[in-house]
Amino acid sequence: MSELTVASEAGRIAVRKTYKLYIGGAFPRSESGRSYMVSDYSGGFLANAALASRKDARDAVVAARKAFPGWSGATAYNRGQVLYRVAELLEGRRAQFATEVRMATGASPARAATEVDAAIDRWVWYAGWADKIAQVRGSANPVAGPYFNFSVPEPCGVVAVLAPQDSALLGLVSVIAPAVVSGNTCVVVASERRPLPAVTLAEVLATSDVPGGVVNVLTGAVAEISPWLASHMDVNAIDVTGAPGALADDMAVAAAGNLKRVVRLPAGDWEAEPGIERMTSYLETKTVWHPLGN
């Protein structure tokens, strides 16, 4: 029996948990009322997870859009501090995450703990970029005239993220953190087979200082949810990392409806140095002209 299920010992009845979605800072059930069974690496029962629908995806986008002005309007320093607090809370639930990774993948306790540590370190790494990305991506441009000309990076808006299917925690953190650190809000479709670390991350976010709606977590069938996010007119970018090749191609076509950007960076080795490419994929560049003073 799974370690995530209360064992039937001394006459007790096992408590089989059904996890919910995370939308707008709350934990609603799927509007469809559906759920699906999540199994461990050996096929044993772990828990039930909500099976998100098209309506749930729309609700998540609405929540993300509502949260965008406040999150993007916060100072970069404040965003960094808020995200660093998430890392502190992740550290406090390190043992739970390690158990979930181990039950999902069959990794040894030591290997699972290593992945959790790497995920926490990755979150801290991105939090540190919050007040530095403008210096790296912005510039003061030389112009022929009595003007200042500045290029300033800004968040693009609401980002849909399809989490990696094979890396339930480190890969998940590696696609969420770069989206939100610069002021974007996001809707995340968790790994279909390994959603529990994403649900636990949602519980961490709910008890952190991250405003509700900045990160919204959907669980369920990627092929069912993602096309609606790709064609949604209020989604500004989509990361198709967790979509199989054919589905990713279809989503790129659907995304053309409102010219949303499609991020198709290779998943590769999640333990490798991430670089800033994924983070800068969600930035727009605004150029400002200002006359020189006397």
CATH number at residue 193: 3.40.605.10
State the pLDDT at residue 10.
57
For residue range 60-111, what is the model confidence (pLDDT) as tens digits? Answer: 999 999 999 999 999 999 999 999 999 999 999 999 999 999 999 999 999 9
> In this structure, is residue 4 part of a structural domain?
no
> In this structure, is residue 109 part of a structural domain?
yes
> In this structure, is residue 49 part of a structural domain?
yes
Which single residue is written with the structure tokens 């759920």?
A: 35
| Distance between CA atoms of residues 118 and 121, nearest Å | 5
Average the pLDDT over 126-136 and give the result: 92
> In this structure, is residue 5 part of a structural domain?
no
Could you list the residue range(s) of the whole structural domain that residue 191 is in? 19-291
State the pLDDT at residue 245.
79
* Residue 265 confidence (pLDDT) above 90: no
Average the pLDDT over 153-168 and give the result: 93
Strand pairing category for 215-218 and 18-19: unpaired
Q: Is 252 helix (H, G, I), strand (E, B) or coil?
A: helix
> CA of 218: how far to CAs of 23, 191, 237, 279, in Å?
8, 9, 17, 21
Range from 140-154, 187-201, 248-262 carrying the lowest mean pLDDT = 140-154
> In this structure, is residue 96 part of a structural domain?
yes
> In this structure, is residue 2 part of a structural domain?
no
* Residue 6 confidence (pLDDT) above 70: no
For residue range 58-72, what is the model confidence (pLDDT) as tens digits? Answer: 999 999 999 999 999
Written as one string, the DSSP assignment of 28-96 is PPPTT--EEEEE-TTS-EEEEEE---HHHHHHHHHHHHHHHHHHHHS-HHHHHHHHHHHHHHHHHTHHH
Q: How many domains is the chain partitioned into structurally?
A: 1
Residues near 44 by beta carbon (within 8 Å), at least 6 away in sequence: 1, 2
State the pLDDT at residue 294.
57
In degrees and rounded to multiples of 5, residue 260 shows phi and psi of -70, 145
> In this structure, is residue 8 part of a structural domain?
no
Higher pLDDT, 142 or 15: 142
State the pLDDT at residue 1.
46
User: Which H/E stretch holds residue 121?
Assistant: helix 109-128
> In this structure, is residue 47 part of a structural domain?
yes
Do 226 and 243 form a contact (C-beta atoms < 8 A)?
yes
Give the pLDDT band (50/70/90) at residue 8: very low
Q: Is 6 helix (H, G, I), strand (E, B) or coil?
A: coil
State the pLDDT at residue 244.
84
